[in-house]
Amino acid sequence: MTAMSPTTGPAPAGPASVHDQGNGIRPTHLAGTHTFGPPVPKPSPFFQHGFGWLVGSVWLFYLGQPLGTILNHPGGFAKWFSLGALVAFGLSYVLVFLWTRRMHIEERQPRLRDGLVWLGVTLVLGLAMLPGAGGDWMVGLVYIAASAVMVLPPRAAVVAVAVVAAQPLLLPVLVPEWKHENGLFFSIVLAAFAMFGVTRMIDHNMRLTAANREIARLAVAEERARAARDLHDILGHSLTVITIKAELAGRLLPDAPDRAKTEVNDMERLAREALADIRRTVGAYREVCLEEELASARSALSAAGIEAQVPRSADVPEPRGTLFSWAVREGVTNVVRHSGATRCVITVRPDAVEIADNGSGPVAAAGAGGSGLRGLRERAEACGGQLSVGRAPGSGFVLRVSVPA
């Protein structure tokens, strides 16, 4: 059996492949699967931990203007108090960015109350720069607008940005010493748009990550369903025939030991074939042949004491031939197990296969039944065909799979 790697092709399965040091193959684990392939590189520690600090800090260059004004201010309490407030203001903005980034990574939205608290703290720190920076403190409004986009819901953020953007136009009217800042108005608006784009990019990346996780989960579920369907189709039929032949050999053993020996040999052959089928199925290389299934059906029905009318050969092109093979296997298994029939007729046409008996087996709807019928329905739908089960007038149970020619 081989395990396929998407980058290296077939890789030998088993313990040796797990510890193969020569070609770099390592098991890459996904919940519910055992996949072999080259080791997935771990994310750089910088991008895990330092990227947020870099992206948040790169915008602090806007604070150069109030920083220069504070440094040129005459020494004293006002200068150092304002300088401390500026450092705390910049640190607060970076922490807001990191906090909202973590919230997005954890697929959570900041609460409105928490967002307002962050904005309030940032605004207070910005106002604390007033003694040393004077009117240049308004540069901090750029960061307050960007923070509003990060921590508030969209509608509330629009209102907050509009209010903040109006301040460079209104405050100089109230405080004549402060310069009228038209450029600052546009900087605030552009910063808000830029931060909106950053938050949307983070959201989209998180959604893409969640979608990839869901795709992986669905792929695992689909593979499990396929494996369960294939194993049911293989083991259900083979074990049913082995059970029937074992019962027949037990009855024949006292009076016809030679024929009982033949049945035991058939059981051994069937067991070996079933084991080989399982190995091929696990390796995803299993194929079924319609003529072989017809011959196996004839043998199983005969061993069960059911009169069989089965064609010797059938010329059906693929992929219908494979689908009809599974239909014959499932239909005959149900006849032997459940029908209580004395006669079974298998009809094969280029566009359909039908298994009918004269028994009193259960009638199931096409979408119902056990896992065998459900798996056969899925196979038929995958080929653009249709599964029909029920009773025909004057007959017993009928299973039909048809595919448009």
Mapped onto helix, strand or coil, the DSSP state of residue 360 is coil
Q: Are residues 59 and 91 in the same domain?
A: yes
Q: CA torsion angle for 395, 399, 403, 405 (degrees, to 10)?
A: -40
- The predicted pLDDT at position 367 comes to 42
Q: Among 212, 240, 256, give the residue marking a domain's end.
A: 212
Burial of 255 (0-12, 13-18, 19+ CB in 10 A): exposed
Bond preceding residue 319 cis, omega within 30 of 0: yes
State whether 186 and 65 are in the same domain: yes
Give 173 or 349, the one with higher predicted confidence. Answer: 349
Mean pLDDT score across all residues of the chain: 75
Q: Are residues 26 and 50 in the same domain?
A: no
Q: Given this model, what pLDDT does residue 365 score?
A: 41
34 and 55 in a common domain: no
pLDDT of residue 330: 86
Q: Which residues pair with 29 in a beta bridge?
A: 34
The answer to the question of residue 222 being in a domain is no
Tell me, yes or no, whether 54 and 34 share the same domain.
no
Number of domains in the chain: 3
Asked which of 68-77, 106-115, 188-197, 375-384 is least confident by mean pLDDT, the reply is: 106-115
Spatial separation of the C-alpha atoms in residues 117 and 66, rounded to whole Å: 24
* Cα 137 from Cα 92, distance rounded (Å): 15
- In terms of domains, do 99 and 248 share one? no
Mean per-residue pLDDT for 166-172?
83
Contact 38, 24 (CB under 8 A): yes
- Residues 239 and 97 placed together within one structural domain of the fold: no
Is 247 contained in some domain? yes
**217 occurs within a structural domain:** no
Do 103 and 126 have their domain in common?
Answer: yes
Q: Per-residue pLDDT tens for 7-27? A: 333 333 333 333 444 443 344
Residue 221 lies in a domain: no
3-state secondary structure of 186: helix
DSSP 74: P
pLDDT in tens, 44-91: 454 445 555 555 566 677 788 888 888 888 878 888 898 998 889 888
Is 83 in the same domain as 143?
Answer: yes
- Which residue would you say has higher pLDDT here, 190 or 239? 190
Same domain (yes/no): 30, 98: no
Domain of residue 10: give its range: 2-40
Helix (H) or strand (E) holding 397: strand 397-402
Same domain flag for 385 and 269: yes
Alpha carbons within 13 angstroms on the beta-carbon side of residue 178 total 22
The answer to whether residue 405 scores a pLDDT higher than 60 is yes
| Kind of pairing between the strands at 386-391 and 352-357 | unpaired
